[in-house]
């Protein structure tokens, strides 16, 4: 109701200052407290008609135009459809907003899951390989990170350079621990370098404490 009231204030009444919001709330309070019995006599059909007009006036029709939908990312369309479907099915705006927000979070996580890039450079003598990791390391990219190392083919010394990366959560630390474990099982040593201060703090605090995460 408050969203609809604000939109009507701006779009229909031409409100431009915060005073309009205060006056709208004050008039609504007077209607409920002073004229409550009179308002209760208004037929429900009339109130439904008012709500339909409010919805019609506040809806952004341009957002569902075919030309707009063709330009919009599929993820945004999915979020919009799921949110509307939940609101219609549950008759509860809050549930629709929560489900839509969760859907947007999942889509975002899948979108950035592969943003972490790993490049390998082996020294001329073939005794050391340096893996340079670039990007953000968090729960969505940790599983992908583990699979980007050549555990069997690498030399005995492996350096993982994280100077261009950032560790955000425990899943990333668990992934690094899993990488070290896989190399250790083959008798190879791993050195992690280039951690920035926040990443180093997370890694130092959690490394070795997350066995079995991967």
**Which pLDDT tens digits describe the chain residue by residue (214 residues)?**
555 566 666 666 666 777 777 887 888 888 889 888 888 888 888 888 877 877 777 777 777 778 877 777 788 888 989 998 998 999 888 898 899 999 988 887 777 666 778 888 888 888 899 999 988 888 877 777 888 898 988 999 999 999 988 898 888 888 899 999 999 999 999 999 999 999 999 898 888 766 555 5
Expressed as residue numbers, the domain containing 108 is 63-112
Pick from 137, 130, 120: which is nearest to 175 by CA? 137
Pick from 193, 121, 168, 113: which is nearest to 145 by CA? 113
Q: Which residue among 74, 94, 112 closes a domain?
A: 112
Same domain for 181 and 194?
A: yes
Question: Which residues make Cβ contacts (< 8 Å) with residue 195, sequence separation at least 6?
Answer: 162, 163, 167, 203
Q: Given this model, what pLDDT does residue 35 score?
A: 87
Same domain for 87 and 168?
A: no
Residue 79 inside a domain? The answer is yes
Same domain for 100 and 159?
A: no
Residue 73 inside a domain? The answer is yes
Q: Given this model, what pLDDT does residue 200 score?
A: 92
Same domain for 87 and 122?
A: no
Domain count, the chain: 3
pTM as predicted: 0.54
Pairing of strands 117-122, 128-137: antiparallel
Same domain for 98 and 131?
A: no
Same domain for 123 and 177?
A: yes
Question: Which residues make Cβ contacts (< 8 Å) with residue 68, sequence separation at least 6?
Answer: 62
Same domain for 55 and 43?
A: yes
Same domain for 33 and 6?
A: yes
Same domain for 45 and 80?
A: no
Residue 213 inside a domain? The answer is no
Residue 212 inside a domain? The answer is no
Q: Given this model, what pLDDT does residue 189 score?
A: 92
C-beta atoms surrounding 81 within 10 Å: 12
Same domain for 84 and 51?
A: no
Residue 21 inside a domain? The answer is yes
Residue 41 inside a domain? The answer is yes
Residue 29 inside a domain? The answer is yes
Q: Given this model, what pLDDT does residue 112 score?
A: 67
Same domain for 189 and 136?
A: yes
C-beta atoms surrounding 124 within 10 Å: 6
Q: Which residue among 97, 112, 127 closes a domain?
A: 112
Same domain for 3 and 24?
A: yes
Pick from 136, 133, 194: which is nearest to 169 by CA? 136
């Amino acid at each position: 109701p408050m969203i609809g009231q604000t939109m009507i204030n701006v779009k229909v009444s031409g409100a431009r200052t915060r005073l309009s919001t205060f006056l709208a709330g004050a008039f609504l309070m007077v209607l409920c407290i002073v004229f409550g019995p009179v308002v209760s006599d208004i037929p429900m059909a009339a109130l439904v008609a008012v709500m339909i007009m409010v919805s019609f006036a506040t809806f952004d029709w341009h957002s569902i135009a075919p030309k707009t939908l063709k330009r919009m990312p599929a993820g945004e369309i999915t979020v919009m459809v799921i949110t509307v479907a939940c609101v219609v099915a549950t008759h509860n705006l809050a549930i629709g907003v929560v489900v839509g927000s969760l859907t947007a979070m999942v889509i975002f996580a899948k979108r950035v899951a592969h943003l972490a890039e790993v490049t390998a450079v082996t020294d001329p003598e073939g005794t050391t390989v340096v893996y340079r990791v670039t990007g953000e390391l968090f729960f969505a990219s940790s599983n992908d990170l583990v699979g980007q190392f050549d555990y069997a083919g690498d030399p005995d010394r492996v350096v993982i350079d994280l100077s261009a990366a950032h560790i955000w959560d425990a899943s990333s630390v668990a992934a690094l621990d899993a990488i070290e474990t896989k190399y250790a099982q083959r008798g190879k040593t791993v050195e992690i370098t280039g951690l920035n201060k926040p990443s180093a703090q997370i890694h130092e605090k959690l490394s070795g404490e997350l066995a079995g995460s991967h």
